[in-house]
Amino acid sequence: MLVAYEILLMLDVDLPEGREDEIIKRARELVENAKGKWVGHNVWGRRRLAYEINHKGEGSYHLLNFDADAETLAELSRILRITDGVIRHLAVRRIEGGAPGPPPPEPEPPSQSVPEPAYAETNTRSEEE
């Protein structure tokens, strides 16, 4: 029985050109050869990591959507675990009807200058008047 899955894949940003495409192509071929259905691939792009992983501060994110059986998912996860260039991956069941997009872009870092404080106007009237 085919189940809808998605894998969020974090790849090394220092991979040689074309290696990212090879990893995605290999995942797609594995799903299709196991009589699964490839639904789509969204490139989320390069993002800064919250903390370094293997001395890397950034990762290239890809969202893979496909329908497959549990054995195919287990084999795909095993292959991703041992593939050079894959930093992390997370496979979950996909919710039908939901088309998640990439998270919103990171906000601009604040400027290095400190803004001038706003002071209340001084009281120019004395209480004796």
User: pLDDT digits over 47-102, tens only?
Assistant: 999 999 989 999 999 999 999 999 999 999 999 999 999 999 999 998 876 656 66
Looking at per-residue pLDDT, the higher value among 65 and 125 belongs to 65
Number of other CB atoms surrounding residue 68 within 10 Å = 23
What was the pLDDT predicted at 31? 94
Give me the percent of the chain exceeding a pLDDT of 70.
Answer: 78
Q: What are the DSSP calls for the chain, one per residue?
A: --EEEEEEEEEETTPPTTHHHHHHHHHHHHHHHTT-EEEEEEEEEEEEEEEEETTEEEEEEEEEEEEE-HHHHHHHHHHHHHSTTEEEEEEEEPPTT----PPPPPPPPPPSSPPPPP-PPP--S-TT-
What was the pLDDT predicted at 64? 94
Residue 129 has pLDDT above 70, yes or no: no
What was the pLDDT predicted at 117? 72
Please give the domain boundaries of the chain with CATH numbers for all domains: 3-93 (3.30.70.60)
- Calculate the average pLDDT of the chain: 86
Among positive and negative, which fits the CA dihedral 57, 87, 60, 4?
negative
What was the pLDDT predicted at 116? 72
pTM over 0.85? The answer is no
What was the pLDDT predicted at 124? 66
User: Using alpha carbons only, what angle is made at residue 45 by residues 44 and 46, rounded to the nearest 5 degrees?
Assistant: 135
